[in-house]
Amino acid sequence: MSRYHEVYESWKKDPEAFWAKAAEDIDWIRPAEKVFDPEAGIYGRWFVGAECNTCYNCVDRHVEAGRGDQPAIIHDSPITDSKRVITYSELLDEVSRFAAILRDFSVEKGDRVIIYMPMVPEAVIAMLACARIGAVHSVVFGGFAANELATRIDDAHPKLIVSASCGIEPSRIVPYKPLLDEAIEMASHKPDTCIILQRPQRRAGLVPIRDHDWAELMNRAKARDHRAECVSVAAADPLYILYTSGTTGQPKGVVRDNGGHMVALKWTMKNIYDVDPGDVYWAASDVGWVVGHSYIVYGPLLHGCTTIVFEGKPVGTPDAGVFWRIIEEHGVKVLFTAPTAFRAIKKEDPEGEFIRKYDLSGFKALFLAGERADPDTVQWAERHLGVPVIDHWWQTETAWAIAANPLGLGLLPQKYGSPGVPMPGYEVDILDDAGERLPVGELGAICVKLPLPPACLPTLWQDDERFRESYLSRFPGYYETADAGYVDEDGYLYIMSRTDDIINVAGHRLSTGAMEEVLASHPDVAECAVVGIADDLKGQIPVGFVVLKAGAGRDTSEVEAECVRLVREKIGAVAALKIIMTVARLPKTRSGKILRGTIRRIADGEEWKMPATIDDPVILDEITEVLRARGLVRGA
């Protein structure tokens, strides 16, 4: 029997008592004066008046409690053929030294530090060191190009940037340092200092005065036993900023606080994931995404688990058995990844032969999120792994699951295609355009009643107005998730699509609007549209349509190739925009709105209706032809 309904009801009856109880699992320097203050912040703030330190709760307290010799981080890097185990005691040493180094470079409480790194333990050490001294980190995913990094530098104004000489992708070494240098060159804000982790695969030249070598600084700090202790920060002080795609090229700086974040994440570890302190927990994601923040770093470390930092891919490093090798070798109890990783494995190993080569007896559950988990993939994983496969739904903005099937509270019956039921903290309603609640089974905007629970974003970095406008203005009293879906008679949610122009490519959240901005900057492009269409491996892929300027007189395939390169250069390889089609014109409404949704439905082979407001219906036939010619119409 699941305790879910009982626990959800207990939260609903008294949310403050519920979160006050959860807060007992965190060590506070000073307890909260108010568990929730509705007058503070934009929609209220959690644990107002409390003082705490996130790094202390992730590291120091476990060493004090006798977990010093337990591995805190296992770095398993098949791509560099290396492994490294860092115990909690060692992590404490490294983090307190790096925190002291940050201090030496005048980084103080409230200052921002950008971390632009591949999947190495130093990325986690840098994050925790910031938390230790109350600095606010902002991790930028390594697959983003210089321009994206520059945008974040100009928004966050970091005093210091921590980076590495290179990242390693299966087909190539990605030199990070030239990207970093270019980004700093482009940005109007200049950081005072950069600390660079030199990797043997490709060392980087250092700029005198500004750049410093990670290893040299750490060796010197070790020789002097130079350390920084945890500082006390307010629960509502920011722990980090994580930029995520918005509807324009300007990403949104999601702010995470210290206190509420710890309380909620700690609660999820037992109640949603059913892991205990000492267990090995693995989120095969990247520290550049929210899944990495919450479940590679903070969740497992707050709970005293061992976390795996994996530098590799589900397939090809070296084969589709790498996940099972790691689960067996390190005794992983719970794995969390994106469905796309499983689709990649399923494609390479449809009969699950690699799975049978390993002893997975200690493996208890697989969690999926980041994009829709298609029932085929979920059932394939269930069949071959013999453990619960649990889809759950959340966003960068929330830091933890809005809906899940909570393993720790006892599983509810599995419903394929649904990521489960709302978690305590979230009252979810489906609203129509007028903001009225829709009945069971009807599709609408998925919204969460305010206040949001602890850990959810209190605002956007230095942009309260954009926060209100993006999330709170359309449906007063609610947070708008920008996902559309419905709820069934048992309260299970179904997430159908985004209501904005965000797409999900291989579990990476990307803005088609940002890609359109880049295409529009090409000198020969008059107009453009980017649409996310269904893809068997990546869930969705972007395809671009361009209309060339009259008299451009260029070879269209050349312009198309330039457009592909431009997006790769400006946004990064991760945008995965590889298909551009030149068309004579774009389908629009009479008011000039491009019919992106209709194009998507045509490509996905879904039913579609001719929009009543269409300017010229013939254009949709032209687009269909172009898509067909490229083999991009499903079922055609």
* Minimum distance of ligand AMP from residue 338's CB (angstroms): 8
Strand-pair partners of 166: 175
The contact pattern for ligand AMP, residues 396-415, with x = CB under 6 A and - = no contact, is x-------------------
One of 509, 570, 588, 596 touching ligand AMP (CB under 6 A):
509
* Minimum distance of ligand COA from residue 344's CB (angstroms): 4
Q: What is the DSSP letter of 202?
A: B
| Biggest CA pair distance of the chain | 75
Using rule CB under 6 A, residue 174 touches ligand COA: yes
**Residue with Cβ nearer ligand COA (53 or 138):** 138
Cβ 269 vs Cβ 404: under 8 Å:
no
Give the integer Cα–Cα distance in Å for 95 and 279. Answer: 22
**Residue with Cβ nearer ligand COA (344 or 366):** 344
Strand-pair partners of 511: 502
Using rule CB under 6 A, residue 389 touches ligand COA: no
Size of the site for ligand AMP (CB under 6 A): 20
Query: What are the b/e assignments for 414-451, b being 16+ CB within 10 Å?
Result: bbeebbbbbbbbbbbbbbeeeeeeeeeeeebbbbbebb
- For residue 224, give both structure tokens: 């002097």
174 binds, among ligand COA, ligand AMP, none (CB under 5 to 8 A by kind): ligand COA
* Minimum distance of ligand AMP from residue 420's CB (angstroms): 9
Identify the burial level of 262 via C-beta atoms within 10 angstroms of its C-beta, where 0-12 means exposed, 13-18 middle and 19 or more buried: buried
The one-letter code for the residue type at 359 is D
The number of residues making up the chain comes to: 636
Identify the burial level of 200 via C-beta atoms within 10 angstroms of its C-beta, where 0-12 means exposed, 13-18 middle and 19 or more buried: exposed
53 binds, among ligand COA, ligand AMP, none (CB under 5 to 8 A by kind): none
**Residue with Cβ nearer ligand COA (278 or 316):** 316
Using rule CB under 6 A, residue 503 touches ligand COA: no
469-498 residues in contact with ligand COA (CB under 6 A) are none
The contact pattern for ligand AMP, residues 218-257, with x = CB under 6 A and - = no contact, is --------------------------x-------------
One of 196, 309, 338, 559 touching ligand COA (CB under 6 A):
338
Give the integer Cα–Cα distance in Å for 86 and 72. Answer: 6
Stretch that binds ligand COA, among 207-215, 312-320, 548-556, 589-597 (CB under 6 A): 312-320
* Minimum distance of ligand AMP from residue 504's CB (angstroms): 5
* Minimum distance of ligand AMP from residue 157's CB (angstroms): 23
Query: What are the b/e assignments for 312-326, b being 16+ CB within 10 Å?
Result: bbbbebeebbbbbbb
Identify the burial level of 610 via C-beta atoms within 10 angstroms of its C-beta, where 0-12 means exposed, 13-18 middle and 19 or more buried: exposed
* Minimum distance of ligand AMP from residue 499's CB (angstroms): 9
Using rule CB under 6 A, residue 419 touches ligand AMP: yes
**How many other CB atoms sit within 10 Å of the CB of residue 375?**
13
Residue 160's contacts (CB-CB under 8 Å, 6 or more residues apart) are 102, 105, 107, 111, 113, 114, 191, 192, 193, 194, 195
Q: Is 511 helix (H, G, I), strand (E, B) or coil?
A: strand
Stretch that binds ligand AMP, among 23-31, 33-41, 392-400, 577-585 (CB under 6 A): 392-400
Give the integer Cα–Cα distance in Å for 351 and 636. Answer: 28
Stretch that binds ligand AMP, among 142-150, 323-331, 389-397, 433-441 (CB under 6 A): 389-397
Give the integer Cα–Cα distance in Å for 441 and 610. Answer: 25
372 binds, among ligand COA, ligand AMP, none (CB under 5 to 8 A by kind): ligand AMP
One of 371, 501, 516, 604 touching ligand AMP (CB under 6 A):
371
The one-letter code for the residue type at 325 is R
**Shortest CA distance to 288 belongs to which of 402, 133, 123, 162?**
123
483 binds, among ligand AMP, ligand COA, none (CB under 5 to 8 A by kind): ligand AMP
Using rule CB under 6 A, residue 504 touches ligand AMP: yes
Stretch that binds ligand COA, among 149-157, 281-289, 355-363, 547-555 (CB under 6 A): 281-289
One of 121, 143, 158, 251 touching ligand COA (CB under 6 A):
143
One of 212, 261, 333, 372 touching ligand AMP (CB under 6 A):
372
**Residue with Cβ nearer ligand AMP (339 or 587):** 339
**Residue with Cβ nearer ligand AMP (165 or 481):** 481
* Minimum distance of ligand COA from residue 508's CB (angstroms): 6
Q: Is 281 helix (H, G, I), strand (E, B) or coil?
A: strand
Q: Tokens 């990844």 sit at which residue?
A: 337
Stretch that binds ligand COA, among 221-229, 283-291, 419-427, 555-563 (CB under 6 A): 283-291
**How many other CB atoms sit within 10 Å of the CB of residue 113?**
27
Strands 525-535 and 539-548: antiparallel
Q: Is 357 helix (H, G, I), strand (E, B) or coil?
A: coil
Q: Does residue 123 come out as left (phi exceeding 0), alpha (psi in the -120 to 50 range) or beta?
A: alpha
Cβ 180 vs Cβ 142: under 8 Å:
no
One of 186, 573, 614, 619 touching ligand COA (CB under 6 A):
573
Stretch that binds ligand AMP, among 56-64, 173-181, 255-263, 369-377 (CB under 6 A): 369-377
Cβ 127 vs Cβ 297: under 8 Å:
yes
Using rule CB under 6 A, residue 369 touches ligand AMP: yes
The contact pattern for ligand AMP, residues 458-487, with x = CB under 6 A and - = no contact, is -----------------------x-x----
Residue ranges that bind ligand COA, judged by CB under 6 A: 118, 142-143, 167, 169, 174, 285-286, 289, 291, 313-315, 338, 340-341, 344, 370, 505-508, 573-574, 576
Residue ranges that bind ligand AMP, judged by CB under 6 A: 244, 290, 369-373, 391-396, 419, 481, 483, 495, 498, 504, 509
